[in-house]
Amino acid sequence: MTILDGKKVSNDIKNEIAEQVSVMVANGEKVPHLAAVLVGSDGASMTYVNAKVKACERIGFKSTLIELPEHTTEAELLEKIAILNTDADIDGFIVQLPLPKQIDEQKVLMAIDPDKDVDGFHPTNVGRMALDLPTFLPATPYGIMELLERYKVETSGKNVVVMGRSHIVGRPMSILMSQKRKAGDATVTVVHSRSKNLEAITKAADIIVAAIGISEFLTGDMVKEDVVVIDVGITRVPDTTKKNGYRLAGDVHFESVSKKASYITPVPGGVGPMTIAMLLKNTLLSRERHNAK
């Protein structure tokens, strides 16, 4: 069994990007600038956004964190987005999800200039991804593709089961892996909360991408020998033995599934760090595109 070490691979990628940034600096060019908008004070979102900002600092990017209160109105957020769209210094920005109830998420995502949409969530970029045109790939699916590619996991002709149909992970993952591309060319099945005979489907899978947000849902008896397992889940599970009162659990019951798997991602240290690395890669790409204009 091989651990797909997202922490290590993401560090490799960050070092590669840092190298490119130092060349930019040496040439007197502008460095990439990422902005992140955080509305409210959701604990997990704060952790993610802070990790993104910290990663920017480490590799030499400029970063701006915009924190707005929980009661921010949709109009106020749209106004902020309009400013970021026109600020020539900012190469890319993200609005951290989920957003408070009073704000229409889709409306917000559609307001982001597709040229600065480094999350790849704008309908234009989703469409471009589906058509296999140059775009910003959403960071989590992009990170999984990169992890599979760097570990040389064979995907061509394999039965891939994507668990979950979210706009951020499941849906794009199913599209990318069925495309003619690196870590693609797979036969993809998407399962979700209404799927029947789940176990028969997961048992036939060569590769499983679990992205349903239910802790330790996928157990060893649901998979075949030598399966490749990608765990996208990250849930806080109460744990009195921990100082902070919780532990992080994925969608995969690691202990039982890892006994059968040929490759598996850990939680934490698997997909999570890859997501951040690919967001940085998208921001670098955006800077290069702006430079070429």
Number of residues engaging ligand GUN in binding (CB under 6 A) = 9
By beta-carbon distance, which residue lies closest to ligand GUN?
97
139 binds ligand GUN (CB under 6 A): yes
Q: Which residue has the tokens 């900002």?
A: 53
Of 227 and 284, the one with the shorter C-beta distance to ligand GUN is 284
Q: How far is the CB of 255 from ligand GUN (least distance, A)?
A: 26
Could you confirm whether 7 is annotated as catalytic?
Answer: no
Q: Output 122 or 202, the one with its CB closest to ligand GUN.
A: 122
Task: Point out the catalytic residue in the list 119, 206, 231, 251.
Answer: 119
Which residue in the block uniquely carries the two structure tokens 């930019």? 24
Q: Is 243 a catalytic residue?
A: no
CA 142 – CA 148 distance, rounded (Å): 10
The contacts found for 13-19 with CB under 8 angstroms, 24 or more apart, are: 13/146, 13/274, 13/277, 13/278, 13/280, 13/281, 14/55, 14/58, 14/59, 14/277, 14/280, 17/59, 17/277, 17/280, 17/281, 17/284, 18/58, 18/59, 18/60
Q: How far is the CB of 180 from ligand GUN (least distance, A)?
A: 25
* Contact residues for 289 (Cβ-Cβ < 8 A; gap 6+): 115
Helices and strands per DSSP (H, E), number in the chain: 10, 11
Rule CB under 6 A: is residue 277 a binding residue for ligand GUN? no
Which of 52, 80, 116, 281 is catalytic? The answer is: 52
Q: Which stretch binds ligand GUN (CB under 6 A): 16-24, 75-83, 94-102, 142-150?
A: 94-102
SS3 state of residue 218: strand
Residue number, 84 or 94, with CB nearest to ligand GUN = 94
Q: Which is nearer to ligand GUN, 125 or 202 (CB)?
A: 125
Q: Assess whether 119 carries a catalytic annotation.
A: yes
* Cα distance between the two ends of the chain: 47
Q: How far is the CB of 275 from ligand GUN (least distance, A)?
A: 6
b (16+ CB within 10 A) / e for 78-87: eebbeebeee
Q: Considering the rule CB under 6 A, would residue 168 count as an interface residue with ligand GUN?
A: yes
Does residue 140 belong to the site contacting ligand GUN (CB under 6 A)?
Answer: yes
| Alpha carbon distance 205, 161 (integer Å) | 6
Among 10, 63, 96, 286, indicate the residue that binds ligand GUN (CB under 6 A): 96
Residue placing its CB nearer to ligand GUN in the complex, 120 or 266: 120
Candidates 97, 110, 198, 248; binder of ligand GUN (CB under 6 A) is: 97
Q: Which residues are catalytic?
A: 52, 96, 119
Q: Which residues bind ligand GUN (CB under 6 A)?
A: 94-97, 119, 139-140, 168, 275
